[in-house]
Structure 1
C-alpha cells in the first residue's frame, strides 16, 4: 500500500506508536477490521461494535502475522504481541487513514449517491469503465463511514478508477464521506423518499445528498438525473455545469425507442449530444426495468467523461451482471424467483412491480415493510399497494406491521386477483410452500431489516 508506513499511518490519524522503532518505516500490506481476514503484514483496526469488540481478538491477529494493531486502549500482558498505535477513536482513525491513503494514489474516483438505484448504477458504471480501465468498485453494502474507508483500502497502484457507492441517512454524513473519497466525478441518481425519518423532506434529502460536492476535485464533473425535479434545478456547483441524462430529449444524454424484453432485459437507443453533434447506439440492457435505462445513461455519461467510445460503452452495458438481492433472477422448481430483497423504498418497489407485471404466467409479489419513511410511512405503503393493483398482480402477499396499509389499499383498489396480509416473516415461511405453484414468477422485496433472504432460501427448498 503506497506510502502506508506505520509512521505515516500514526501521523495521519493522530495516534501514538508503541513498539519496535525499526518497524515504523515498514509498509502494511492491507488494513482490516475483521480478525478473520488478518494476514501477514496487515494493520488490524480494533473496533468496539454493538455485539463484538475487536480488541478481544488482538492476540489472535498477532499470531496471524499482523504487523501492527490500531487500538483504543493500551495493550498489555499476553495480548501485546507486537507494535500498536493508540488512538482515541478507532472509527475516526479509519476515516483519517483512508483520507490520507486516497491522496497517495493517482486514481480517478467516481462517487455515486441517490435515494434509489445507487448499487445498480454503480454496477453499470463499473461495467462500462471496465472496458477500458482497471476498475475497483464498492462490494456489497460497504458504502457508509466504515465501509467506504475499507473499500478505499482495497485500492492498489494498478487501479485506474474507483467507483464508490456513498450511502447516508442523516445530515453531515455525506460531507464526511466526500472528504474521504475526494470524488472527481459525482453522480446522483435521484432524490426520492428514503430516510425521511431523519431528513424530513425531499428538500432535506437533496441538501444531504448534495454534500457529495463539498470535496469534489477542482476540475471535476457532475452527472445528474435530469428527469428528477429536484436535481434538474441544479445549474452549477462551484463553477461546474452538470451533465444531465434523462428519457426526454434536450439532455446531454437521452434515450428513446425503449422496448421491454420482459425478464430478459430492456432495449433502448441512447443518444449522446456533444458540442452541436449527436451520436447514438442501440443496446439491450440485460437486466429488466425501465429504471435500468437511466442507469445505462449514467454509465454512458461517465464513460464519455473518461474518454470511452460509444462501442466500448455499448459493450460494457451489455456485459452487466445482476447481483444477489438486486433483481437477481433464479429459475427453480418450475418457478422464476426474482431476488430483489436487499432493500426497498416506495419508488424501487413500484419499479419492480412494473417489471413483474410483464412476466408470463401467474405473477406473485411477496413484499415486506419499508423502513425509515417517517410520518408518511402508512401513506407510502398504501401507495405501493395501489400500484400493485394497477399492475394487476395476481397474488400480493404483504408481510409486516406497516404492510397492512399496503394490503388494505391493494384490496380496496380491486386490481389484484388475491391479496394476503401476513403479520410476520415466521408466519410467511410456514405457509409459503402452499402459496406458490409451478409457472409462477415471484418477486421478493422488502427493506434489508426484514431478512427476506430467508424467503429466497425457502423458495429454493421447494
Structure 2
C-alpha cells in the first residue's frame, strides 16, 4: 500500500511503535479488522466490538503472516511489530485518512436521506465507461465501513465512489475528513434518523457537513427539486450544480415515460456551463440525450441525472453517460427484481423510511396484475413514528394495491392508515389488509395469501430481517 510504512502509520494514528528499526520502514500489503481476511505482510486492527474483542485474534493474525497489528493493549514479550494506540477505532480512521491522502485519485462522496446506494451504483456504472472505479460495497458507509473501503483502493484505481451514511451530528464531519471528496453529491433531505437529527433542517445541517473536508476546488452536485438543498447558493465560493425535473436551471429531465417494472425512459438535458477545466484541456460539456434506465421507478430519473452531472464533471461524453446508465444492474435489497416461483418480487428490503417506502409503493403501482405489499416497521423516526407509518398506509390506499401485509408493532399504523382511508373514501381501491406480529407468523400464512403471478413488494428497515421473507416466497410450496 503506497506510503503505508509502519513508521508512517504509527505517526498518523499517534501510536507507540514496538519493533525493530528494520521493520519500521516496511509497507503493509493490506489492512483489515477481520482476522479471517488477513493477508501476508498485512496489518490487523484489533477493535473491541459488542460481541467479540479483536485483541483475542492477534496471535492468529501473526501466524497467518501479518506484518503488524494495531492494539489498545501492551503486548508483553511480543517480538513482532505492533503499534499501541489509545483507540483502535480512531486509529482505523486516522490510518484511512493517511492512505487516502497518499493516493492520486478522485473521490465522489454521496450522501442523502434516500437513494444513496442506487445513486452510487448509477454513478459507478457511468464512470466505469472511462475510468477504473472502486465503489462502496454493501453497507460499508459508516465510520468503520468507509475506512475499510478506502483500504481496498489500489494505485490502479482512478476514482472512488463512496457512499456516506450518518445518523447523528458530527459523523459526516469525521467521514468527510477521511474521504476528502473531490465531488459531493446529496440526493435529498428526507425524514430519517429523526431521533437524533430532530427535523429536516437538522438533517440538512448534518448532511452538509460533507463539505467541510472536501477539495475546495471540487464540485457540489445537489437535487434542485429538494426545497432544503436548493437553499445552498454556494460552497467555497462556487455555485453547486443542480439537477431536477421541476427545476430546469441546471441538468434536468423531461419526456419521462414510465415503463413499469422494466424501467423508465427520459431525456436528460445537460447544463452547458458545467464543462470542466482540466490541467491539459477544457472538456466539452456532454450533449443532451435520451436514455432508458433499466431499474423501475421514476425516482431513478434523479439518480440518472446525478450520475450525468458527475460524468460531465469528470469529462465523459453523452454517449458514455448514456451507456453507463443503461448498463447498470440492480443489487439485492435495492429495487431488485426477482422472477421466481411464479412471482415477480420487488426486493427493496435493505432499509426503509417514509419517503423510500412511498417511492417503492409507486414502483409497484406500475406493475400489471395483482399487487401485494409486504411492509415492516421503519425505525429511527423519533416521536412521530406512528404517525409517519400511518401516513404511508394512507398513501398506499390511494394506489391500486390488492393486498397489504404488515409485520411489526409500528406497522399496525400502516394497516390502520390504509383502512381509515378506505373507510373515509367510498371510491378507494379495495385493498385486503392483514397484520402480523412477527415475520414468522407472516411466512406461515404466505401460501394462503399469495397467488401465482402476483407482483410483490417486500420492504422494511434492515433490522426486520426481511430477506428471510424473500427467501420464504421463493421457496414456498403453494396450496
**TM-score for the superposition, normalised by structure 1:** 0.98
Query: CA contact under 8 A between 2:405 and 2:435: conserved in structure 1?
Result: yes
| 2:165 maps to 1:167 | yes
| 2:429 maps to 1:421 | no
Query: CA contact under 8 A between 1:339 and 1:456: conserved in structure 2?
Result: yes
- Find the partner of 2:309 among 293, 301, 304: 301
| 2:322 maps to 1:324 | no
Instruction: Indicate the SS of the match to 1:103.
Output: helix
Q: Counterpart of 1:432?
A: 446
Query: CA contact under 8 A between 1:59 and 1:81: conserved in structure 2?
Result: no
CA deviations 1:276-313 (Å, max 9, x no partner) are 99931111100010110000000000000000010000
Query: CA contact under 8 A between 1:32 and 1:43: conserved in structure 2?
Result: yes
Q: Which moved more, 1:106-115 or 1:246-255?
A: 246-255
CA deviations 1:339-384 (Å, max 9, x no partner) are 1100001010111100101112210010000000001111110111
Distance in 1 (CA, whole Å) between partners of 2:35 and 2:79 is 15
Instruction: Indicate the SS of the match to 2:271.
Output: strand
With over 3 angstroms needed to count, the CA separation of the structure-2 counterparts of 1:349 and 1:188, relative to structure 1, is same
Distance in 1 (CA, whole Å) between partners of 2:113 and 2:430 is 28
Q: Note the residue ranges of structure 1 that are not aligned, 5 or more in a row.
A: none
Q: Counterpart of 1:18?
A: 18
Q: CA deviation at 1:429?
A: 2.0
Distance in 1 (CA, whole Å) between partners of 2:215 and 2:247 is 29
Q: Counterpart of 1:68?
A: 68
Aligned residue runs from structure 1 range 267-278, under 5 A: 267-275=265-273
Instruction: Indicate the SS of the match to 2:288.
Output: strand
Q: Counterpart of 2:240?
A: 242
Distance in 2 (CA, whole Å) between partners of 1:329 and 1:81 is 54
CA deviations 1:240-283 (Å, max 9, x no partner) are 21000000252210001111111111110000121499931111
Instruction: Indicate the SS of the match to 2:212.
Output: helix
- Find the partner of 1:176 among 174, 177, 187: 174
Distance in 2 (CA, whole Å) between partners of 1:393 and 1:52 is 45
Distance in 2 (CA, whole Å) between partners of 1:18 and 1:279 is 58
Q: CA deviation at 1:20?
A: 2.7
Q: Note the residue ranges of structure 2 that are not aligned, 5 or more in a row.
A: 275-284, 423-428
Distance in 2 (CA, whole Å) between partners of 1:416 and 1:238 is 54
Pairs aligned (count): 460
Aligned residue runs from structure 1 range 140-151, under 5 A: 140-151=138-149
Q: Counterpart of 2:278?
A: none
Q: Which moved more, 1:8-17 or 1:20-29?
A: 20-29
Query: CA contact under 8 A between 1:144 and 1:166: conserved in structure 2?
Result: yes
- Find the partner of 1:279 among 265, 270, 287: 287
Query: CA contact under 8 A between 1:249 and 1:255: conserved in structure 2?
Result: no
Distance in 2 (CA, whole Å) between partners of 1:459 and 1:82 is 52
Q: CA deviation at 1:205?
A: 0.2
Q: CA deviation at 1:168?
A: 0.3
Query: CA contact under 8 A between 2:42 and 2:66: conserved in structure 1?
Result: yes
Q: Which moved more, 1:278-287 or 1:263-272?
A: 278-287
Q: Counterpart of 1:409?
A: 417
Query: Which runs of at least 4 in structure 1 moved beyond 6 Å after TM superposition?
Result: none
| 2:458 maps to 1:444 | yes
With over 3 angstroms needed to count, the CA separation of the structure-2 counterparts of 1:73 and 1:247, relative to structure 1, is same
Aligned residue runs from structure 1 range 74-223, under 5 A: 74-76=74-76, 80=78, 82-223=80-221
Distance in 1 (CA, whole Å) between partners of 2:84 and 2:247 is 57
Distance in 1 (CA, whole Å) between partners of 2:453 and 2:28 is 54
Q: CA deviation at 1:403?
A: 0.5
With over 3 angstroms needed to count, the CA separation of the structure-2 counterparts of 1:267 and 1:81, relative to structure 1, is farther
The alignment's C-alpha RMSD in Å is 1.3
Query: CA contact under 8 A between 2:219 and 2:240: conserved in structure 1?
Result: yes
Aligned residue runs from structure 1 range 358-373, under 5 A: 358-373=366-381
Q: CA deviation at 1:17?
A: 1.1
Query: CA contact under 8 A between 1:227 and 1:245: conserved in structure 2?
Result: yes
Query: CA contact under 8 A between 2:349 and 2:461: conserved in structure 1?
Result: yes
Query: CA contact under 8 A between 2:286 and 2:312: conserved in structure 1?
Result: no
Aligned residue runs from structure 1 range 336-375, under 5 A: 336-375=344-383
